[in-house]
């Protein structure tokens, strides 16, 4: 068929897709402006309540001692083959078993896996990375450096760069979202997967379109689409919004010590420390709309009954995409979003049982 005819036949579909994307972006930026107004009021309230802290975040010049705790492992760097970026990671238990690779979420870093690093280093080679843009890892400034494809290439480079052909992939929040995608596009590199508090992007998309409540729970995503303003709002009153997110009595990590809180704030207080992590969110809508995907990697899914960011109904939506017998899902009663830090013992119990056949 002549190329001109093919182009003419596809023109209506292409125009429809462009109009759909334009409509979607108009909704996204409308929601972003509303979210900016709300979070702007919250940030200004924090400043008025604590005027001595001012409108900026206090720079931290010395990392807290807990970041160099030797019981957590050795600090190392890896040059990624695909991008040439230098990625920081903490490693323990080398030579004791399969690679267990941990991917953190926002607003966190490798330190969010401190309980799991101690727990599993006796039987596995445990590695917790600072994802690109976080902590001591390289942080390109361009938004285009944080696409899902590039982030998945980072994970592949870490696994192969450490000398393994596959791994047990453990992810929470953003790290879990990346793990879902990685298991779909690089299935041969993932032997087992443990996912905490996050859904595959296609599942989240379809679920949110039918459950408006999920949009309200994820309102911060819209704020993060804007340039520079989110960085400013999150840093006001010495990062009070981030402090509240991590330490809130009901929605945060209540037992987080001041030193542990500083382990997260230290990186974000460095020049440009928030831009890389927020660029992850600025790429989310570039891949929409997404096609449904079948999930097949043997997976342990842990979900908090009281998660303030993701509805419990997402668990059933995830289950409907799995091949039979490949998913083991548990909803932890009375638990919120930060399971690896708030409920480590319960998480470890489920993980040991899920991985038992690999240890025999």
pLDDT at 287 (0 to 100): 77
**Rounded Cα gap, residues 264 and 269, in angstroms:** 9
The dihedral through the CA atoms of 77, 80, 83, 84 has a sign that is positive
User: Exposure pattern of 139-168 as b/e (b: 16+ CB <10 Å)?
Assistant: bbeebebbebebbbbbbbbbbeebebeebb
The answer to whether residue 180 scores a pLDDT higher than 90 is yes
Alpha helices in 58-173 (DSSP H): 114-120, 148-161
How does residue 299 score in pLDDT terms, banded at 50, 70 and 90? very high
| Burial grade of 247 (CB within 10 A; 0-12, 13-18, 19 or more) | middle
What pLDDT was estimated at residue 15?
A: 62
pLDDT digits 0-9 by tens, 269-293:
999 999 999 999 999 988 776 788 8
Q: What is the pLDDT of residue 288?
A: 73
Question: With b meaning 16 or more CB within 10 Å and e meaning fewer, what string describes 14-45?
Answer: eeeeeeeeeeeeeeeeebbeebbeebeeebee
The answer to whether the Cα torsion of 302, 290, 100, 243 is positive or negative is negative
Angle at 223 between CA 219 and CA 225, to 5 degrees: 120
Contact in structure between 126 and 91 (CB atoms under 8 Å): yes
pLDDT at 14 over 70: no
- Mean residue pLDDT of the chain comes to 93
Residue 114 sits in a domain whose CATH number is 3.40.50.1820
Asked whether the beta carbons of 330 and 347 are under 8 A apart, the reply is: no
Q: Does residue 3 lie in a domain region?
A: no
Q: Do 146 and 78 form a contact (C-beta atoms < 8 A)?
A: no
**Residue 11 domain-assigned (yes or no):** no
Structure-token pair, residue 174: 């953003």
CB atoms within 10 A of CB 173: 23
Residue 8 placed within a domain: no
* 130 pLDDT above the threshold of 70: yes
pLDDT digits (tens, 9 = 90+) for 67-115: 999 999 999 999 999 999 999 999 999 988 999 999 999 999 999 999 9
Which segment of 18-22, 115-119, 351-355 scores lowest on mean pLDDT? 18-22
**Residue 2 resides in a domain:** no
So which residues are the catalytic ones? 173, 281, 337
Residue 79 is assigned to a structural domain of this protein:
yes
Find out whether 82 and 311 touch, Cβ atoms under 8 Å. Answer: no
Domain total for the chain?
1
Q: What percent of the chain has pLDDT over 70?
A: 93
Give backbone dihedrals phi and psi of 14, rounded to 5 degrees, phi first: -65, -40
pLDDT, position 57: 87
275 vs 224: CA distance, rounded Å: 10
| 99 contacts: CB under 8 Å, gap ≥ 6 | 124, 125, 127, 159, 162, 164, 166, 167, 168
pLDDT score at 138: 98
Q: Confirm if 73 and 56 have CB atoms less than 8 A apart.
A: no
Helices within the chain (DSSP H only): 3-49, 114-120, 148-161, 174-185, 201-210, 212-217, 219-223, 229-247, 258-268, 275-281, 313-319, 339-342, 344-354, 356-359
Given this model, what pLDDT does residue 11 score? 59
Longest CA–CA span in the chain (Å) reads 72
Q: pLDDT tens digits for 203-243?
A: 999 999 899 999 899 999 999 999 999 999 999 999 999 99
Structural domain includes residue 7:
no
Question: What is the per-residue pLDDT for 29?
Answer: 83
Task: Name the residue range of residue 231's domain.
Answer: 17-359
């Amino acid at each position: 068929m002549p190329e001109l005819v093919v182009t003419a036949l596809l023109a209506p579909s292409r125009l429809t897709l462009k109009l759909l994307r334009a409509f979607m972006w108009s909704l996204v930026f409308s929601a972003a402006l509303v979210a900016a107004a709300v979070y702007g009021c919250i940030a200004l309230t924090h400043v008025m309540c604590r005027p001595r802290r001012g409108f900026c975040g206090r720079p931290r010049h010395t990392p807290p001692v807990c970041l160099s705790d030797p019981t957590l492992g050795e600090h190392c760097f890896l040059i990624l083959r695909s991008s040439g970026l230098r990625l920081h990671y903490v490693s323990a238990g080398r030579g004791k078993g399969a690679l267990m690779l941990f991917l953190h979420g926002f607003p966190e870093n490798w330190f969010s896996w401190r309980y799991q690093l101690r727990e599993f280093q006796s039987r596995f080679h445990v590695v917790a990375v600072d994802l690109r843009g976080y902590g001591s890892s390289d942080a390109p400034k361009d938004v285009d450096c944080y696409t899902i494809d590039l982030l998945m290439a980072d994970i592949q480079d870490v696994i192969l760069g450490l000398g393994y052909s596959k791994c047990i992939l453990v992810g929470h929040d953003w790290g879990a979202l990346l793990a879902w995608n990685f298991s779909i596009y690089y299935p041969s590199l993932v032997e087992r997967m443990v996912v905490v508090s996050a859904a595959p992007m296609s599942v989240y998309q379809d679920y949110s379109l039918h459950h408006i409540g999920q949009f309200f729970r994820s309102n911060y995503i819209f704020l993060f689409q804007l340039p520079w303003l989110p960085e400013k709002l999150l840093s006001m009153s010495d990062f009070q919004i981030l402090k509240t997110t991590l330490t809130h009595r009901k929605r945060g990590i209540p037992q987080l010590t001041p030193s542990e809180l500083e382990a997260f704030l230290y990186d974000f207080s460095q020049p440009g420390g928030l831009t890389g992590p927020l660029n992850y969110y600025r790429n989310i809508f570039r891949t929409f709309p997404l096609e449904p995907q079948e999930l097949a990697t043997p997976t342990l899914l842990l979900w908090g009954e009281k998660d303030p960011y993701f509805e419990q109904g997402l668990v059933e939506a995830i289950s409907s995409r799995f091949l039979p017998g490949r998913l083991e899902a548990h909803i932890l009663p009375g638990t919120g979003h930060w399971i690896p830090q708030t409920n480590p013992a319960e998480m470890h119990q489920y993980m040991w049982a899920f991985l038992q056949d690999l240890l025999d």
